[in-house]
């Protein structure tokens, strides 16, 4: 049977357990050319909150009664496809369920010898590409500049700061809590990390950025953006990647006063990673190399069992995860059980 997490109703504000429904459905029969795979890892990402809402956005909402969307890493169980075989590992878009079936056009084969298969959902997947294009193409950092990134211990932010360092910039993270800040500086090698839970963000951020801020990679919006506005250098660039601070807001809160943008000739630009798929080859080449060379590190926060996906999802909004949040839907045959 195929265990599925459906969207039962559209959340008002913060999602609750009753917004989801967990069901068992039969695995559909395979037509000619089809591929059946078992989900190993399900990626949980902030954008999914937007898909739970109705109304216009950059992507179609999840329909009520349908499986929640999401990218997955899976193990091929049965195949009527010419070039995909049972035992292959693939990245897929199967969503919050334990099996997926398709004609294979949406599958990307993974080589476990090249990188751990779970990285296809994180540092070598959509979050990594988001960090890469947002920082390099939109942010255009130059050596010696100061790059600030919020949600610095998260899947995207952790990559942003490390690429900033690789490119010769000062990397300053903003994260919630001493443990995350410690991880960001000691494990990921950022120059500094500011704990937004300690209050007085304006002063602590200023102290961490004595040369001002040239690039702010914004994952959160809200108060951090406001504090950054006071510290922007001339011609600062702000790639706007996410506004997680208001994803659960029932009324969109106001933004910061925009006058500082004018005074500093600064730029804010929203971007969506799927417009930048042309950059995927360069991203993959660079990041795979940086991983091999030990210049790019990552951490995963793995929750066991698809039934726990709804509760795990809320960690993203509570700051409860460090690194890439994944659900292990079935055992990963490439990885020792202890990990």
Q: In whole angstroms, give the CA distance from residue 328 to residue 339.
A: 12
- Binds a copy of itself by CB under 8 A, chosen from 97, 130, 243, 321: 243
* Nearest residue (CB) to a copy of itself, 268 versus 314: 268
254 binds a copy of itself (CB under 8 A): yes
215 near a copy of itself, judged by CB under 8 A: no
Question: Given the complex with a copy of itself, which of 179 and 263 has the nearer CB atom?
Answer: 263
Does 11 participate in binding a copy of itself (rule CB under 8 A)?
Answer: no
Whole-number Å distance between alpha carbons of 147 and 23: 45
d(CA 64, CA 52): 9
Compute how many other C-beta atoms are within 10 angstroms of the C-beta atom of residue 2: 19
Closer to a copy of itself at the Cβ: 4 or 243?
A: 243
| Cβ–Cβ < 8 Å for 127, 165 | no
Q: Which residue has the tokens 């069992």?
A: 305
Q: How many CB atoms lie within 10 A of CB 275?
A: 10
Asked if 206 is part of the footprint of a copy of itself (rule: CB under 8 A), the reply reads no
CB-based contacts of 221, cutoff 8 Å, min separation 6: 240, 242, 243, 244, 245, 246, 255
User: Is position 255 an interface residue for a copy of itself (rule: CB under 8 A)?
Assistant: yes
Q: Does 259 bind a copy of itself (CB under 8 A)?
A: yes
In the complex, minimum distance from the CB of residue 225 to a copy of itself, in angstroms, rounded to a whole number? 7
Minimum Å gap between C-beta 235 and a copy of itself is 9
Please identify which residue in the block is written with the tokens 């079936």: 101
What are the backbone dihedrals phi and psi of residue 333, each rounded to the nearest 5 degrees, phi first? -70, -15
Closer to a copy of itself by CB, 11 or 255: give it: 255
Nearer to a copy of itself, 269 or 292 (CB): 269
Query: Which residue lies nearer to a copy of itself by CB, 274 or 285?
Result: 274
Residues making up the chain, counted from first to last: 339
Q: What is the rounded distance in angstroms from the CA atom of residue 86 to the CA atom of residue 230?
A: 56
| Alpha-carbon distance values, 181 to 37, 152, 187, 197, 277 (Å) | 38, 8, 10, 11, 31
Which residue lies nearer to a copy of itself by CB, 53 or 102?
A: 53
The mark string for 160-179 relative to a copy of itself (x by CB under 8 A, - otherwise) is: --------------------
Q: Is 225 in the site for a copy of itself (CB under 8 A)?
A: yes
Site for a copy of itself in 266-295 (CB under 8 A): 266-272, 275
**Interacting residues with a copy of itself between 45 and 84 (CB under 8 A):** 56-58
Residues in contact with a copy of itself, counted by CB under 8 A, come to a total of: 32
Among 253, 305, 331, 333, indicate the residue that binds a copy of itself (CB under 8 A).
Answer: 253
Among 6, 21, 10, 19, smallest CA distance to 66 is for 6
Give contact residues for a copy of itself (rule: CB under 8 A): 56-58, 221, 225, 240-243, 246, 252-272, 275
């Amino acid at each position: 049977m195929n265990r599925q997490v459906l969207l039962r109703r559209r959340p008002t504000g913060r999602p609750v357990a009753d917004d989801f429904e967990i069901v068992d459905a039969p695995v559909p029969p395979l037509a000619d050319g089809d591929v059946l795979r078992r989900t190993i890892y399900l990626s949980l990402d902030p954008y999914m909150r937007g898909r739970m809402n109705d109304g216009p956005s950059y992507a179609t909402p999840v329909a009520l009664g349908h499986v929640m969307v999401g990218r997955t890493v899976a193990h091929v169980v049965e195949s009527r496809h010419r070039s995909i075989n049972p035992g292959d590992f693939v990245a897929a878009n199967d969503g919050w369920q334990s099996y997926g079936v398709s004609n294979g056009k949406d599958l990307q084969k993974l080589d476990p010898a090249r990188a751990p298969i779970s990285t296809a959902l994180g540092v070598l997947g959509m979050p990594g590409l988001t960090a890469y294009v947002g920082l390099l193409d939109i942010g255009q950092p130059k050596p010696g500049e100061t790059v600030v990134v919020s949600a610095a211990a998260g899947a995207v932010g952790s990559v942003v700061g490390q690429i900033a360092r690789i490119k010769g910039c000062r990397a300053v993270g903003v994260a919630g809590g001493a443990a995350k800040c410690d991880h960001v500086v000691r494990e990921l090698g950022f120059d500094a990390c500011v704990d937004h839970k300690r209050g007085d963000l304006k002063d602590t951020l200023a102290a961490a950025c004595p040369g001002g801020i040239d690039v702010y990679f914004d994952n959160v919006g809200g108060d951090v953006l406001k504090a950054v506005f006071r510290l922007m250098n001339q011609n600062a660039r702000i790639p706007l990647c996410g506004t997680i601070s208001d994803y659960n807001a029932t009324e969109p809160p106001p933004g910061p006063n925009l006058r500082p943008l004018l005074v500093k000739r600064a730029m804010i630009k929203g971007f969506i990673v799927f417009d930048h798929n042309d950059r995927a080859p360069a991203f993959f080449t660079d990041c795979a190399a940086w991983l091999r060379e030990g210049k790019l590190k990552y951490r995963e926060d793995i929750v066991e069992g698809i039934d726990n996906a709804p509760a795990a999802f809320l960690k993203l909004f509570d700051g409860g995860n460090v690194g890439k949040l994944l659900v292990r839907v079935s055992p990963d045959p490439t990885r020792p059980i202890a990990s």
